[in-house]
């Protein structure tokens, strides 16, 4: 912290606002929203934004973002971007760890030592294999849902920036005109 009171006030609003945004988009409501939200029923054609703007969750997020200054909106956008990137990376690793690696190991074992794979499958029984496959599928599905929600949050913050006409550059950079060289110079 620089000791600037404006910076301290900005820090005070940043994390509470972020937590309110996260509470406005709970992952637990996603299955219900897949059935009832206007945005899901409008995933055809070229316009995916009209339905999204009609969602109840969009209105909740916009209500949280509305009182923020352009600078605070840019900072929330930066947080949403970092959050989305982290979710994408984690969900990819979950897919690799829970799907690709076990499937590759089973296929390799079936090629190199099919009798060993049959013995392991017989000893464990099919119920245990089905349990572990279902567990992996649910874990991957959950992380993909988390990544979807993180992307949705980023999209809604970006829509608010567009609606309010907020430039992503900071105020000092936005006020400067580009440097142009003289003609022929």
Digit-coded pLDDT (tens) for 140-150: 888 889 999 99
Residue among 103, 99, 105 at smallest CA distance from 137: 99
As for how many domains the chain has, the answer is 1
Coil, strand, or helix at residue 108?
helix
In a domain, 110, yes or no: yes
In a domain, 120, yes or no: yes
Digit-coded pLDDT (tens) for 5-49: 455 565 689 999 999 999 999 988 888 888 887 777 767 778 888
pTM over 0.85: no
In a domain, 179, yes or no: no
How would residue 171 be classed by pLDDT, with cut points 50, 70 and 90? low
In a domain, 82, yes or no: yes
Question: Residue 185's pLDDT is what?
Answer: 44
In a domain, 159, yes or no: yes
Q: How far is it, in rounded angstroms, from Cα 36 to Cα 33?
A: 5
Q: Dihedral of CA 54/57/63/65: which sign? A: negative
In a domain, 175, yes or no: no
Coil, strand, or helix at residue 67?
coil
In a domain, 21, yes or no: yes
In a domain, 41, yes or no: yes
Digit-coded pLDDT (tens) for 42-81: 677 788 888 888 888 999 999 999 999 999 999 999 999 9
Owning domain of residue 114: 12-167
Q: What is the dihedral of CA 112, 115, 119, 121, to 10 degrees?
A: 60
pLDDT at 94 over 90: no
């Amino acid at each position: 912290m620089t000791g600037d009171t404006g910076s301290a006030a900005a820090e005070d609003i940043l994390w509470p606002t972020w937590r309110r945004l996260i509470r406005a988009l709970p992952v637990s409501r996603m299955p219900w929203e897949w059935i009832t939200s206007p945005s899901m029923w409008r995933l055809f054609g070229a316009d995916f934004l009209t339905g999204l703007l009609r969602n109840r969750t969009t209105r909740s997020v916009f209500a949280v973002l509305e009182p923020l200054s352009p600078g605070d909106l840019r900072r929330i956008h930066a947080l949403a971007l970092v959050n989305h990137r982290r979710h994408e990376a984690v969900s990819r690793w979950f897919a690799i760890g829970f799907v690709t690696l076990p499937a590759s190991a089973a296929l390799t074992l079936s090629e190199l030592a099919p009798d060993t794979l049959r013995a392991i499958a017989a000893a464990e029984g099919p119920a245990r294999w089905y349990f572990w496959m279902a567990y992996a599928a649910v874990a991957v599905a959950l992380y993909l849902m988390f990544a979807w929600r993180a992307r949705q949050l980023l999209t809604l913050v970006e829509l608010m920036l567009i609606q309010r006409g907020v430039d992503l550059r900071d105020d000092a950079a936005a006020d400067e005109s580009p440097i142009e060289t003289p003609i022929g110079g």
